[in-house]
Structure 1
Amino acid sequence: MSTAEERWFHRRGALARDGWQSVVDASLTGWQHTGIRIAELTDGDELELTALDVERIIVPLAGSFRIAHHHHPGEWHTRLHGRASVFDGPTDVLYLSIGTTATISGEGRVAVTEAPTAERRDWQYIAAEETPVELRGAGRSSRQVHNFGTPQALDAARLIVCEVITPAENWSSYPPHKHDEHKPGHESRLEEIYYFESAPSRSGGNPDAADGAFGMFSTYSSPAGEIDINAMVGTGDIALVPYGYHGPAVAAPGYDLYYLNVMAGPDPERTWLISDDPAHAWVRDTWDGQEFDSRLPYENENENENDKEGQP
């Protein structure tokens, strides 16, 4: 792995700290606008979130959780029903504003996405059925996007979060694009985190091959800075994109690919505007007339009725 890749790409567990499997925050050199925490919990485990000037979205990746959260004017208990895996459709999520303490308990794998801010918003529970699901692209560029934390779906201060499912053999984060310049109405400055998972495909994959499940991910430089990631990615790996063109993210034959995107930046408006690499932007036009991948959408095959406690 190159020195540049070592700085911006981290294997599962390489950023372990304080009971978390991975922690990305401003303690990493050159990183300031976004954060993520990943943990695996078993019955009886608890993880604490302290009262910081960060807003958060708690995202069940696999399993279900209970969140005790404390903020003005009191204490609430919210159940996140979650899902069996990230390939089982949308999950319910919990948005918490700045100055909140919380305790996470339950069983499974959970992500806490973060962005520093001085602005306060109301906390919010978003049920799985309330999550906007977007089917993006066409043909071998078909993918499924869950937009629970985008400006159109959530009133947050800085944080923008979504998740993407790419079926085996498909490409996503493509054409390569960037968001590292402030061009009002055209492009916004956003740091971005990619947290990856991969698994044997729901469409005929070999369940005995789970340990070897992988995809590919690339970044490359733009005028804003030099970056170079060309990596096999699997469950728990994290790529950081401070600037530069990023994509494609490719699901290998036999394996589905998932990534959770966390974005925030210094621009005055919370908006997600991108610029395609001019060398590859023409690819979007080839999607016209192509059929969408019939394997999508991936949905929760064991959906249960969501009950909520302490909802606003």
Structure 2
Amino acid sequence: MSTTDQRWFHRRGALARGGWESVVDERTPDWEHTGIRVAEIAPGTTLELSDIGIERIVVPLSGSFDIVHTADGAATTTHLTGRASVFDGPTDVLYLSSDSTARLTGEGRVAIATSPTTVVKPSRRIPAAETPIELRGAGASSRQVHNFGTPLALDAARLIVCEVITPAENWSSYPPHKHDEHVPGRESRLEEIYYFEAAPVAGADAVGDAAFGMFSTYSSPAGEIDINAMVRSGDIALVPYGYHGPAVAAPGYDLYYLNVMAGPDPEREWLISDDPAHAWVRDTWKGQQIDSRLPFGNETEGQQ
């Protein structure tokens, strides 16, 4: 019988701390390389990012934000126009160097991807129009990936960040795969965070809070893990090791997740190994078309 591992799966609000709805960082048990902060910001509210030695990517989930970020005594204000929701295409994001502190204001919902590092890379705003959009898979395994924080798109120290939109009834993070061994040129060690949102398909007569998807992980030689969960907006899964996937969008509901990755390997790269029992599924995509519902949103520049 399968169970959901309570160390690695957390419902919305279960990780609340210091005005943030959810916080994962070095104080999270058995967690080291990655972090995330999620908050709902109301007008007049200010959220502080006061620690240095942490690189960050500010990702508007909905709404718009102003970030005053300071390094070496010099302050810069960056405006992120954002978007109506995570299902409205890519957003502009802000990479913050590890020597920066910041103050956030605005209105909406925001996620901050984090990783501790002593390496200082320059802060950079990445406009939505410059975000590489990848349509991955085919048929019922079609999904849309926004690669604003991957090695080819961003010069970061450790962070690898992207977001994935899976249309209703489709599967993503599939075939199940892992990245928990250092095998040069084949596989890299990366902790991974999944932050989820779900919503009724456009035009549906449904209650938004009822929207859900499914997510699974299971063990590999690197460690024991077992998550089989109905996921809703605001839920967080931590993947320290093991095979992860699929993430499945239920009929009637689209599924989104933000992936935050970093690890101890000397190279910043995303190298995965499929579960050998399911790797053959990739061959079935040959000759199939990408789901015609993709891409989501109107921003298609930079599509790959």
- TM-score tier after normalising by the smaller chain length: over 0.9
Q: Give the letter for the 1:50 counterpart.
A: S
Equivalences for residues 293-308 of structure 1 within 5 A: 293-300=291-298
Out of 96-105 and 146-155, give the one that drifted further: 96-105
Report the aligned-residue RMSD: 1.4
Separation (CA, whole Å) in 1 of partners of 2:136 and 2:97? 30
C-alpha offsets along residues 82-131 of structure 1, whole Å, 9 cap, x if unaligned? 00000000000000011211000000000000001110000000000000
Which residue of the partner structure matches residue 205 of structure 1? 204
Which residue of the partner structure matches residue 260 of structure 1? 258
Which residue of the partner structure matches residue 286 of structure 2? 288
Equivalent residues of 2:2, 2:228 under 8 A apart: no
Runs of 4+ in 1 over 4 A off after TM superposition: 1-4
Match of 2:269 among 268, 271, 280: 271
Task: Give the Å deviation of 1:300.
Answer: 4.1
Separation (CA, whole Å) in 2 of partners of 1:276 and 1:241? 15
Secondary structure of the equivalent of 2:207?
helix
Equivalent residues of 2:218, 2:227 under 8 A apart: yes
Percent same amino acid among aligned pairs? 74
Separation (CA, whole Å) in 2 of partners of 1:276 and 1:73? 47
Equivalences for residues 1-312 of structure 1 within 5 A: 5-72=5-72, 74-202=74-202, 204-206=203-205, 208-300=206-298
Equivalent residues of 1:60, 1:111 under 8 A apart: yes
TM-score (norm 2): 0.96
Separation (CA, whole Å) in 1 of partners of 2:209 and 2:178? 32
Separation (CA, whole Å) in 2 of partners of 1:283 and 1:261? 23
Equivalent residues of 1:97, 1:120 under 8 A apart: yes
Secondary structure of the equivalent of 1:7?
coil
Separation (CA, whole Å) in 1 of partners of 2:298 and 2:199? 16
Secondary structure of the equivalent of 2:270?
coil
Gaps of at least 5 residues in structure 2 are none
Separation (CA, whole Å) in 2 of partners of 1:62 and 1:105? 13
Separation (CA, whole Å) in 2 of partners of 1:47 and 1:14? 19
Secondary structure of the equivalent of 1:80?
strand
Separation (CA, whole Å) in 2 of partners of 1:265 and 1:146? 21
Aligned residues: 300
Secondary structure of the equivalent of 2:15?
coil
Q: Give the letter for the 2:24 counterpart.
A: V
Task: Give the Å deviation of 1:72.
Answer: 2.7
Separation (CA, whole Å) in 1 of partners of 2:204 and 2:143? 18
Structure 2 vs 1, CA of residues 3 and 252 (structure 1 numbering), >3 Å: closer, same or farther? closer
Structure 2 vs 1, CA of residues 300 and 83 (structure 1 numbering), >3 Å: closer, same or farther? farther
TM-score (norm 1): 0.94
Q: Give the letter for the 1:132 counterpart.
A: P
Equivalent residues of 1:83, 1:300 under 8 A apart: no
Separation (CA, whole Å) in 1 of partners of 2:135 and 2:146? 9
Equivalent residues of 2:3, 2:227 under 8 A apart: no
Equivalent residues of 2:219, 2:243 under 8 A apart: yes
Separation (CA, whole Å) in 2 of partners of 1:11 and 1:131? 29
Equivalent residues of 1:186, 1:273 under 8 A apart: yes
Equivalent residues of 1:205, 1:255 under 8 A apart: no
